[in-house]
Amino acid sequence: MVNKVDNNGNSRSIWDIGVIASLVILAFSIQSGNFSRSVSSSPRTPVNTSEIIENPRDFVGKTITIRSKPIKQIGLNSFTVREGQFSKKDPMLVVNASGTPFSLPSDRNVEVQVIGQVRDFSITDIEREYKLRLNPQQYSGYVSKPVIVAQSITLAPIPAQVTQNSIQYYGKKITVTGVVKNIDSPVLMTLDKGQLIGGNDLPVLLTPSAKVAINKGQTIAAVGEVRPFVANEIERRYNMTMNARVKQQLERQYSNQPILVADAVYP
């Protein structure tokens, strides 16, 4: 490896400089890339489920975001969540009205993100409005209590949970919240793995729709699909064209490693 010494006496690898320069080129090599475009809407700041349970009148009729640990599946279309593993608060019911089936994670330490409307739970009203079938016997304990009618549900692991058990996330759309550790280019960054023992930092490749102003050290939520890094497949699936040199360098660094291909990023 050839090194170059700058005016301050610091040594930098010319290969590293080339990687950064080539990655910048990548930002301008995406076919549909309007990188000045930002996401038009974003999830609201997450609310603790305990706040909803304690003060339901403050939330009924409002659309909110929660990130909580799942507790129990209730029927085919619903499950409960609770804030914190040892919380003594009652669990919160979530009814999936998104139209997309959702399975709870086998690891109950993995959180889920839910975006939906808080309302008083009425079986007949929800069945009529959302074309769902709910078994009254399964929901008798939740009638008239606050419920979240979900329009969007995703798994919400931390970066290390993804890199440590990547296979279970492949092909799934997830929301990952973490601290930006490195920004290698306008389209590639890494999220710090977090406090979990094991796992690695998570590389995040930004598609054109995910381009927003991001700073190192900032906490963000990135929404996208986890895939092993295979450049040709990513180019084809996301209509991206990578510079040949960039592709080679990224494959050398990330080949077959889990990467989050993000279509939305929320500071």
Neighbours of 29 (CB within 10 A): 17
| Residue 41, domain member (yes or no) | no
Least confident residue range of 90-94, 174-178, 238-242, 253-257: 238-242
Higher pLDDT, 53 or 248: 53
Is the pLDDT reported for residue 235 higher than 50? yes
**Are both 257 and 177 inside the same structural domain?**
yes
Tell me the CATH number at 90.
2.40.50.140
**Are both 214 and 149 inside the same structural domain?**
no
Listing DSSP states for 144-204 in one string gives TSEEEEEEEEEEE--HHHHHHSGGGGBT-EEEEEEEEEEEEETTEEEE---SSSS---EEE
| Residue 244, domain member (yes or no) | yes
Q: Which of 161, 146, 132, 138 is nearest to 53 (CA)?
A: 146
150 residue type, one letter: A
Q: How many domains does the chain have?
A: 2
**Are both 85 and 145 inside the same structural domain?**
yes
**pLDDT, tens digit, for every residue of 89-133?**
789 999 999 999 999 998 888 999 999 999 999 999 999 999 999
**Are both 163 and 94 inside the same structural domain?**
no
**Are both 219 and 169 inside the same structural domain?**
yes
**Are both 110 and 176 inside the same structural domain?**
no
Last residue of a domain, one of 140, 155, 170: 155
List of residues 6+ apart from 103 with CB closer than 8 A:
none
**Are both 175 and 250 inside the same structural domain?**
yes
Is the pLDDT reported for residue 18 higher than 90? no
**pLDDT, tens digit, for every residue of 159-218?**
999 999 999 999 999 999 999 999 877 778 999 998 887 889 999 998 888 878 889 999
Give the Cα-Cα-Cα angle 239, 193, 244 (nearest 5 degrees).
30
**Are both 165 and 151 inside the same structural domain?**
no
Mean pLDDT of 230-245: 84
Domain encompassing residue 134:
49-155
| Residue 43, domain member (yes or no) | no
User: Cβ(124)–Cβ(154) under 8 Å?
Assistant: no
**Are both 162 and 236 inside the same structural domain?**
yes
Last residue of a domain, one of 155, 178, 204: 155
Share of the chain above pLDDT 90, in %: 57
Last residue of a domain, one of 120, 135, 155: 155
- pLDDT given at position 251: 86
**Separation CA 171–CA 126 (nearest Å):** 30
Listing DSSP states for 96-160 in one string gives E-SSS-----SSTTSEEEEEEEEEE--HHHHHHHHT----HHHHGGGTTSEEEEEEEEEEE--HH
- pLDDT given at position 195: 82
Is the pLDDT reported for residue 1 higher than 70? no
**Are both 57 and 133 inside the same structural domain?**
yes
**Separation CA 181–CA 198 (nearest Å):** 17
| Mean model confidence pLDDT for the chain | 82
Q: Which of 158, 264, 172 is nearest to 214 (CA)?
A: 264
Mean pLDDT of 6-19: 42
- Spacing of C-alpha 71 from chain mean position: 20
| Residue 104, domain member (yes or no) | yes
